[in-house]
Amino acid sequence: MKMTVAEALVKIMVKEGIHQAFGIPGAAINPVYKYLKDAPIGHYTMRHEEACVHAADGYRRASGEIALAICSAGPGATNFVTGLYTAFIDSMPVFCVVGQANLGQLAQEPFQCVDMPDIAKTVTKKAWSLKKAEDLPGILQEAFYLMREGRPGPVLLELPLDLQKAEFEFDIDAYESKPVPVVKPDQAKIEEAVKMLAASKNPIIIMGGGCFLSGCAGKVVELAEKLAIPVVTTYQAKGGIPEDHPLNAGHVGIQVGQPVGNEFFLGSDLVLAIGNRFSDRHTGDLKTYRGDRKFIHINIEPKQIGMVFEPDLGIVSDASLAVDALLAEVEKQGLGPINPERAATVAVRRAALERKTDYDCSPMMPHRVFREVNEAFDADTYFTEGCGITQIWSGQLQKIYKAGKYLPSGGAGTLGYEVPAAFGVKVAHPECHVVTVVGDFGLTFMGEEIAVASAFKKPIIVVVVNNAYLGLIRQNQKGLGFEYAVDMPYNQDGTIDYVKLGEAYGCVAERVFSPEELKMALVRAKASTEASGRPYVIDAICIKTQLCDMGNSIAAIKSWAPEE
């Protein structure tokens, strides 16, 4: 039967399991909107195109489903790029569709015409511009396959306006998804890995974000329990092992790392790394990080193994299938607890090395903000984080008890991810509290998306750590011996008013100065969002010049927090 490209696109998206769309309509994409109007796909009109991708990204992280990000041509389409990069580096599949000028005019520099596939090719698994109507089904089949295959990631499709309205022969019943191959581990390498574990004295497991993508965080904990191995998590895997689990040794890293994680890692002789990338903020100085210890690296993406350094054993596999195979081989080889005495010290050292948060001063220490947030929300609460000094404190100090509840921009460190991602999470889980803790400067990136949460009655809670500085950049500048263009006194002196900002966007909002005020504000925020459906903004006034703990090596982290 004859069908327009726009109609076929929408029908295929429905068949591929798209249930939600985050977009901004425009003249160059309106033919698609004509068919979205009556499709079984929810649509949320965002306030900025970048936010469309962040919201779809947040929705995917929280729900496990691919969502659509859609916008018009030209500057709208180019605004997608930061969202694409954020999703790409964190392995998040997002289906992005953008409009384009008429096909026959592309060489004539028409209005709002830009080559999006060429721009987006480094931040997507693949990007296409449709040239013939009949190519659409094949492109979409490959697009959905690529988003799901191997290391997941976003794709982009550019649709010339005239082609959206062009007809071609298409039968939706004949369309089939391309099957995604299962990436199984090499059994001989699994056997070698278990032998290496058996020969070690002080092994440690790194749980990476790939364990969330494959849904095997619980299995990794089971493996750790069988072998009495401490578990450290990367930033992307925060919450993969409960905060209070006896084997949770925290994070390793030079910024969001924790003293207990760095200590246990440095004391290890074998590292079993599952679904991680060995990023620079995790490893710090590589000579210190590698030391004399051996490494087993499991990753579904072959290029990741050996990208930073060559492990002693590399295993290409889906993380879940690899852990299943390890569990079976451990049973087969009869391997039991490796060093239970060391494992028994994890909880003790974790408590002894925990950073101080019970500061009572006003304005508040940022650490106290996170203490109050930890106490205010239950284990089912979702959190999003962007970048900056607030993100570092969040990674160091927030307590997360369940896998997939802490959803940060990791590899990109994107200011502006926080609020739209939180909105996407709230769309996925309206029954849960969704909280973002953001700096006063970070809120000005994509903060307008609070209006979307208000308009659609998706009440997120925004806690602003207001230190009136570009805190992390100031800290970096101080290390270089200067300070310039990073102070923002107007964010605290009343010139800039985040309470009025929140109210203008339809929120309930308040400003707090002390821990007790913050504690009560969080109580009100939970009750208000549950009752009214309106988002809630809390502007928490903090000490301006507090630095965060960090360093260049996991063996040399400088603490800046006062002990008293």
Q: Which amino acid is at 245?
A: H
pLDDT in tens, 425-472: 999 999 999 999 999 999 999 999 999 999 999 999 999 999 999 999
pLDDT value of residue 563: 61
Of the pLDDT bands very low, low, confident and very high (cuts 50, 70, 90), residue 107 is confident
Domain 187-352 grouped into CATH 1.10.10.60: no
Mean pLDDT, the chain, whole residue set: 97
Arithmetic mean of pLDDT, 99-120: 91
pLDDT in tens, 380-405: 999 999 999 999 999 999 999 999 99
Distances (CA, A) of 254 to 234, 267, 270, 383, 391: 11, 16, 20, 22, 13
Which residues does 345 contact at the CB level (< 8 Å), separation at least 6?
none
pLDDT in tens, 182-191: 999 999 999 9
pLDDT in tens, 278-316: 999 999 999 999 999 999 999 999 999 999 999 999 999
Element holding 466 (H helix, E strand): strand 461-466
Of the pLDDT bands very low, low, confident and very high (cuts 50, 70, 90), residue 110 is confident
Question: Same CATH fold, 357-541 and 187-352?
Answer: yes
pLDDT in tens, 44-59: 999 999 999 999 999 9
C-alpha closest to that of 69 among 60, 122, 8: 60
The ranges assigned to domains in the chain are 2-165, 187-352, 357-541
> For residues 543 and 559, what is the distance between their CA atoms, to the nearest angstrom?
17
Peptide bond before residue 181 is cis, with ω within 30 degrees of 0: no
C-alpha closest to that of 357 among 563, 146, 83, 182: 563
CATH number of 2-165, picked from 3.40.50.970, 3.40.50.10860, 3.40.50.300, 3.90.600.10? 3.40.50.970
Instruction: Classify residue 173 by burial, with Cβ atoms within 10 Å: 0-12, 13-18, 19+.
Output: exposed
pLDDT in tens, 489-525: 999 999 999 999 999 999 999 999 999 999 999 999 9
* The CATH fold of domain 357-541: Rossmann fold (3.40.50)
Full-model pTM: 0.98
pLDDT value of residue 108: 85
Q: Does the structure show a pLDDT above 60 at 542?
A: yes
pLDDT value of residue 105: 84
Cα–chain-centroid distance for residue 78?
A: 21
**Taking the CA atoms of the chain, what radius of gyration do you get in angstroms?**
24
Q: Does the structure show a pLDDT above 60 at 564?
A: no
